[in-house]
Chains A and B, each alone.
Chain A
């Protein structure tokens, strides 16, 4: 999964990656060349007392160093750009993909999960790419080049490499292998501790009301102890790493000196070469160490890559038609013909055999208990999801054959959960109609019974709105959300339980004001309160996904027992009659 993601999204940056590779190669060779120059200074300068040689070689060393820094900087430049471009591209692709998702795919992942995948997960993989471009690339180069240089200095000591490198790899490996699962466990336990705290904060009233502080403290203490236990275990392993590495490194240098001394004594090796060999060995060991640590990041990045691929591999279930209908008569008419909707694999459909017609200037109300499929029914109209049987027609054309823009242009939806975007009152109201004048906005606010409080807000129309609309009350949010749909002046209004957050007086005033405005539109209202829909031209009673009654209030009272039950639960007997 990780490889697939990296391969497909790094492909456009092959040239940059090649540049990174070449530059790192040159840079690494340059830095590896330095100990050899130092050896020369010792062997040919110091031993013979040739000061000129020392200075000349020193100058050459600085030149090489300069080359090295230029190459490193270049590699960092291309590496950084590639890694960040990779992140940008993957993020862009996910965002684009999610934009095409239908409500079903969004619900399947859940918005929070999609957000994490687009942000954190991409960041994790991106971090790995950064590391790959900087340290991980240099490590093998450093290692191979180091080996070559070391061999050039002295082949006789090369067996030491064969001992020291595996010892280091095994030593670190043993620790790291134990650490990785502990790290994962620790993350879980941090999450657990934070979850308990989050719950305590959000449920503080309940905790206090039920006098559960001692129990909560115990619950927290358990989580805290579990976390500390794991942290101690991780820490114990972590404390082992540095001393172990140092011991291996230092032990190796002692070994080199000891065995090197024999070769120098036998005249098979120069003393400068011994020093250089030592330096190379250190460099090789360091690079091996670096590579080992970076590989620790791979499992995590792989998990993230998998989560990213899951999104990228999900096909949207709602797609625009290949030859969309762009022209259609403005009749403001919505019709359901034998509509069925079922989730794939489900035994029972959510909706079955739904047929009705909502016409211009008329109000259609949909009522039914929780879980009867009311919201699902509305979602079929703007194609947030698609029917699995029958058809939904707007102005006589199946919505699946319409150009999505044309279709959605005709629809004004007020969702159950009012959601506002960061910006101002005005920018939110203009969300569905950027060309609306201030006058249009005020008119919509007036109908939505929101004029008064908007006028009182500092800045009026320009008053800031926080993300999600959290800086206004639930009822205000709902009214702004209604006004937003009104500004659009659509042919078909879909109100999904949009009046529930309003107090009853406001509810009534709003519906009265709405009437003249929607004279040329079809209005569909999903409601829980009978009082909201008493005057609807037709009421559709849903029960377990089926229509159990269509008619006006009076008709249904006589003909539909379910409707009667709903009404009786809300109204007094006098009112029912």
Chain B
């Protein structure tokens, strides 16, 4: 990649990417051969187009390579005229030769253009399908897969890595082909003109390989250092800006700035070093190219005087030798780019290879009646086999009842919800909905029955209206507004600049956490499912608003089975059944009054919540 700056061919990289690969550490593919072959495999549907691309490329390069030799004839014709002033220059012949050359150039450009277009289409189609496959795959992966890795890592796989694959394919396929063909073609032409001069020119290859290799190795080291220091500096900036308030209040501005300056200075040293070293490649290659130019001129001159070669031939040869180093450098830099592209492809393939969730049963059961009776029968489950979480748990939620789940963090409350939604598969036991094992249902059918509001609100980039109607895209305006009113967000929405058409997204700063929760509640209201799951659904909403929403929810809950998880015990006082969970087990169950009378775990929680601290 360090030779990128020496890229002689006009290769305007998409703006913003800068020079491809510059400063980017080469991600090495674990299994270059296999992954590269798989990438090629994905191009199989395009094989006819690709054959055409290669054919056009060969023709185009052949024409381009042949032209200078014919152009050399033109020089010879002129030279002959100079040597023999009486006969003069044969303009008829010259015109003919030049006309031929022009035709070759035209054809070469035309073919190159068609080839470029075709190849671009192929690459774009391949990348389109790759993206499509990855996206489809995301929906088939079990949630367990997503838990297994940091979200940033996965996100980078589906975005950066695919972008990188696309860029690599685009740049390497066309350039690799033309460059390699040109090297071969030029070499052939040089040998047909003069094997002696060709050998001299060839001597430049090992020299340039050594020079670029040596410089590249050094630059690589600096680039990696630069990359690392950029990361460190950016991390510091990120921390300082994100924690700006703390830095200020704790009076750490000076230390933070000293630290910044040190890292900034370090980055400067390695970055300017890397820039300098890699910047040496171009002049060095130029020097080598000039060196061979001189040698060719001297030797060629001697050969002309001895009559072994014509001036036109030497002229043509010089042109060829100039064309020789460019594609060579290019092939070298492409190799680096390809490394990183294939490494990216490998990461994408890993994702595509990941084990998928169990497919829905073919003879899936139908949900009849929509009563909403949920039963857990000796259910066991663990996220990680070595840490058992839920063991042998049984419970029944009768239709229309509200079941509240309380207990300390990590007790497995949210897990129960995940299991009902069949986000995870059980290790043992079974869960039934109206008597039917949920694994016998199609996931879509099961989930269509269920409305869920999570603590971590999720809004997608779109209008408020679309977000509320997420679960029921066919809802009417009145229904949407009614849901918003029930969730007490109607007023808030109306003061937004565009009302229900206001565009919001995950990072929306104009919507507070509480308001986001209310919007997701409105979403669940509108979806009007037979099973309602509220997982800390109002934790960020202030208590006054919460109690108002509670009333609305009570109406919603009365006709359907609901599961409510809450920290605030005031939220769940009216539940038909309260389950107290501790480390994956239900330690108590009953109504609020029953449990208080029992003076057990629930009572302790309740007392803790409402008691004033001992003022000693």
Structural contact, B452 and A209, CB atoms closer than 8 A: yes
Structural contact, B250 and A408, CB atoms closer than 8 A: yes
CB contact between A236 and one of B120, B238, B423, B458 (< 8 Å): that residue:
B120
Structural contact, A370 and B542, CB atoms closer than 8 A: yes
Structural contact, A254 and B265, CB atoms closer than 8 A: no
Given known A-B contacts A31-B286, A115-B238, A264 and B542 have beta carbons under 8 A apart: no
Structural contact, B237 and A118, CB atoms closer than 8 A: yes
Given known A-B contacts A130-B275, A531-B611, A566-B543, A99 and B256 have beta carbons under 8 A apart: yes
Does A545 reach chain B (CB closer than 8 Å)? no
Structural contact, B297 and A197, CB atoms closer than 8 A: no
Structural contact, A371 and B512, CB atoms closer than 8 A: yes
Does B364 reach chain A (CB closer than 8 Å)? no
Does A34 reach chain B (CB closer than 8 Å)? yes
Structural contact, A205 and B609, CB atoms closer than 8 A: no
Structural contact, B609 and A91, CB atoms closer than 8 A: no
Collect the chain B residues with CB atoms within 8 Å of residue A193's CB.
Answer: 131, 159
Structural contact, B297 and A271, CB atoms closer than 8 A: no
CB contacts under 8 Å to A, within B69-124, are 71, 74-75, 77-79, 81-82, 85, 88-89, 91, 94-95, 98, 101-102, 105-106, 108-110, 112-113, 115-117, 119-121, 123-124
Residues of B in contact with A, size category: 35 or more
Does B444 reach chain A (CB closer than 8 Å)? yes
Structural contact, B105 and A250, CB atoms closer than 8 A: yes
Collect the chain B residues with CB atoms within 8 Å of residue A457's CB.
Answer: none
Collect the chain A residues with CB atoms within 8 Å of residue B423's CB.
Answer: 205, 208
Structural contact, B271 and A87, CB atoms closer than 8 A: yes
Tell me how far the C-beta of B130 lies from the nearest C-beta in chain A, rounded to whole angstroms: 10
Structural contact, A405 and B242, CB atoms closer than 8 A: no
CB contact between B121 and one of A130, A235, A258, A531 (< 8 Å): that residue:
A235
Binds A, one of B138-146, B339-347, B397-405, B581-589: B138-146
Binds A, one of B8-16, B41-49, B383-391: B8-16
Does A565 reach chain B (CB closer than 8 Å)? yes
The A-B contact count (CB < 8 A) is 452
Binds A, one of B299-307, B329-337, B369-377: B299-307
Collect the chain A residues with CB atoms within 8 Å of residue B615's CB.
Answer: 515, 535
Collect the chain A residues with CB atoms within 8 Å of residue B78's CB.
Answer: 257, 260-261, 264-265, 271, 274
Does B158 reach chain A (CB closer than 8 Å)? yes
Binds A, one of B191-199, B202-210, B277-285: B277-285
Tell me how far the C-beta of B110 lies from the nearest C-beta in chain A, rounded to whole angstroms: 7
Collect the chain A residues with CB atoms within 8 Å of residue B233's CB.
Answer: 91, 119
Cα separation A212 to B5 with both chains bound (whole Å): 47
Structural contact, B251 and A409, CB atoms closer than 8 A: yes
Does B32 reach chain A (CB closer than 8 Å)? no
Collect the chain B residues with CB atoms within 8 Å of residue A111's CB.
Answer: 238, 241-242, 244
Does A81 reach chain B (CB closer than 8 Å)? yes
CB contacts under 8 Å to A, within B418-473, are 421, 423, 443-444, 447-448, 450-452, 454, 458, 460-461, 470-471, 473
Cα separation A246 to B287 with both chains bound (whole Å): 24
Does A570 reach chain B (CB closer than 8 Å)? yes
Does A202 reach chain B (CB closer than 8 Å)? yes
Structural contact, B102 and A251, CB atoms closer than 8 A: yes
Binds A, one of B479-487, B544-552, B555-563: B544-552
Collect the chain B residues with CB atoms within 8 Å of residue A98's CB.
Answer: 240-241, 244
Does A73 reach chain B (CB closer than 8 Å)? yes
Structural contact, A296 and B612, CB atoms closer than 8 A: no
Collect the chain A residues with CB atoms within 8 Å of residue B139's CB.
Answer: 207-208, 213, 216-217
For the complex of A and B, 8 pairs with smallest distance between CB atoms = A239-B116, A235-B120, A80-B275, A76-B279, A72-B283, A243-B109, A203-B458, A84-B272
Given A183-B16, A531-B612, 15 more pairs with CB closer than 8 A:
A58-B297, A65-B287, A65-B290, A72-B283, A76-B276, A81-B272, A184-B15, A206-B458, A213-B444, A235-B123, A239-B117, A431-B246, A512-B614, A535-B615, A569-B547
